[in-house]
A = this chain, B = another copy of it.
């Protein structure tokens, strides 16, 4: 079994390659839910949906989120009713949030709802939320403590980052199957996701960090920072705000307690020795995934590192 720790778009693109190289049944994906938020009373799980939609082949490839060719009629009408509209939710996409919210209100857990949605999308890998309890990533800024979506989407990452807080994390538990999957995996791959808010939130769920340390499976991370900048998203602002170096070295430091191998981009090969000085072996490959061939090549490279190819 192979476990992947996943955020949103970067992880989904990595997984698009991985499923072409490894049978889906061998994969367990543990997904960040720190970005989850209610909109209009509906439970939205952005990263779960990005991963699901991408692997189901229905994602809007341009945005990396949402469903392709979606319309925005419901949201336009909600706006006429005085609701905020800074978080774009298409009509087909809203069906997911309506369905999920309905099942949650009926007493199902987020894990159960996710399993049910995956079945509907004919996905054969196991996709687990990091926790069935709410964990809400917040960014401490001079303007106050902002929910991550408010910081990123509404205010477009304009606020200075002073701290990152995972509200509810201490009271949360790993979703059923998460710890066992990490414990029993041959390899645990940390996708090229934001190390602070995508992977950091997963690590904030009590028990997961320790299990990554304890597992005999090889823990391999792919750096989402290439040439000193993130491929996508605000990882640079968050890392800088927390006083971290915005580089593959900075990412390696986030994972140093449990990381076995760091995979970095070829253009960062000058950082190899610095990472190895942390006691973490590092390898270089092309990590940018410009196209499907690039995604497949990255998966082959990572599996080779894991000794699985």
Q: Which residues of A contact B (CB under 8 A)?
A: 40-42, 67, 70-71, 73-78, 80-83, 90-96, 98-99, 101-102, 105-106, 117, 120
**Is there an interface contact between B81 and A95, defined as CB atoms closer than 8 Å?**
yes
**Is there an interface contact between B92 and A73, defined as CB atoms closer than 8 Å?**
yes
- Alpha-carbon gap, A94 to B41, bound state (A): 13
- Alpha-carbon gap, A96 to B101, bound state (A): 17
Residue of B nearest to A71 (CB): B73
11 pairs of residues in contact across A and B, judged by CB atoms under 8 Å: A41-B102, A41-B105, A73-B73, A74-B98, A75-B95, A77-B94, A78-B98, A80-B120, A81-B96, A81-B117, A98-B98
- Alpha-carbon gap, A42 to B102, bound state (A): 8
- Alpha-carbon gap, A67 to B40, bound state (A): 20
Residue of B nearest to A106 (CB): B41
Q: A73-B90, A73-B95, A77-B91 are known contacts; what are 7 more A-B pairs with Cβ within 8 Å? A: A73-B91, A74-B98, A75-B95, A81-B95, A81-B117, A94-B94, A94-B98
- Alpha-carbon gap, A134 to B102, bound state (A): 19
- Alpha-carbon gap, A70 to B73, bound state (A): 8
Complex copy number for this chain:
2
**Is there an interface contact between A71 and B83, defined as CB atoms closer than 8 Å?**
no
Which B residues are in CB contact (< 8 Å) with A99? 40, 78, 81, 83
Instruction: Report the minimal beta-carbon distance from A172 to chain B, rounded to whole angstroms.
Output: 23
Instruction: Report the minimal beta-carbon distance from A56 to chain B, rounded to whole angstroms.
Output: 11
Which B residues are in CB contact (< 8 Å) with A98? 40-42, 74, 78, 94, 98
Which B residues are in CB contact (< 8 Å) with A75? 95
Which B residues are in CB contact (< 8 Å) with A95? 73-78, 80-81
Instruction: Report the minimal beta-carbon distance from A248 to chain B, rounded to whole angstroms.
Output: 39
Which B residues are in CB contact (< 8 Å) with A102? 40-41
- Alpha-carbon gap, A106 to B76, bound state (A): 22
Which B residues are in CB contact (< 8 Å) with A42? 98
Of B40, B67, B74, B81, the contact of A91 (CB 8 Å cutoff)? B74
Residue of B nearest to A75 (CB): B95
- Alpha-carbon gap, A76 to B101, bound state (A): 17
**Is there an interface contact between B78 and A120, defined as CB atoms closer than 8 Å?**
no
Which 9 A-B pairs rank lowest in CB-CB distance, beginning with the nearest?
A77-B95, A41-B102, A73-B91, A77-B92, A78-B95, A74-B91, A91-B91, A81-B99, A74-B95
Which B residues are in CB contact (< 8 Å) with A120? 80-82
- Alpha-carbon gap, A98 to B101, bound state (A): 11
Which B residues are in CB contact (< 8 Å) with A81? 95-96, 99, 117, 120
Which B residues are in CB contact (< 8 Å) with A82? 120
Which B residues are in CB contact (< 8 Å) with A77? 67, 91-96
- Alpha-carbon gap, A77 to B94, bound state (A): 9
Which B residues are in CB contact (< 8 Å) with A96? 77, 81
Which B residues are in CB contact (< 8 Å) with A90? 73
Which B residues are in CB contact (< 8 Å) with A74? 74, 91-92, 94-95, 98
